Amino acid sequence: MANLHLESERWVAADPGRVWSTVSDLAGYDRYAAGLRTTEIVSGSELGARRRCTDRSGSAWEETCTVWEPGRRITMTVDVHTYPLKLRALLRSFSGTWMVTPSDNGSLITVAFSGTLRRFPGSRWLARSLERRNRSVVESILDRYEEDEAMTSSGTG
């Protein structure tokens, strides 16, 4: 099986508590992911929360919070069977993890997406290609976090 992994990190001059508040806002994630039109909580909160994401074309899928470590890390695991058909045929699993690590005078934000492609001829090549083409997606999310005035306006307290 071919694995897909995208990860990037960014230091921001912001208090870790404020950064965590921003990163852990499950319903507000669409403000940071340019490809999403909306994100909404379907049920629950924190660990076990279910969220529905709708992309710019109107396709929607659901995700479940499978890791919730307050102030530190969350993981949203996609319910792949709810993905649009093209992605469902391609991916066996997919998840995103967001981490906040306190650092001197700020916070380190790490965003990582991981998945397993279904087995088919060329799947390893496709995984590498997808990683190269989508690295800018992760960087864009970090750019938007860094630009968020609500997160950074109070400085490092």
pLDDT in tens, 22-65: 999 999 999 999 999 999 999 999 999 999 999 999 999 999 99
Question: Does the predicted TM-score (pTM) go above 0.85?
Answer: yes
Half-sphere exposure of 65 (CA within 13 A, CB side): 23
157 and 44 Cβ atoms separated by less than 8 Å: no
In CATH, the number for domain 2-26+63-148 is 3.30.530.20
Q: List, for residues 86-109, the tens digit of each pLDDT value.
A: 888 888 999 999 999 998 889 999
d(CA 38, CA 146): 20
d(CA 24, CA 6): 19
Which secondary-structure segment (H or E) carries 18? Answer: helix 16-23
Q: List, for residues 115-125, the tens digit of each pLDDT value.
A: 998 888 887 88
* Domain extents in the chain: 2-26+63-148
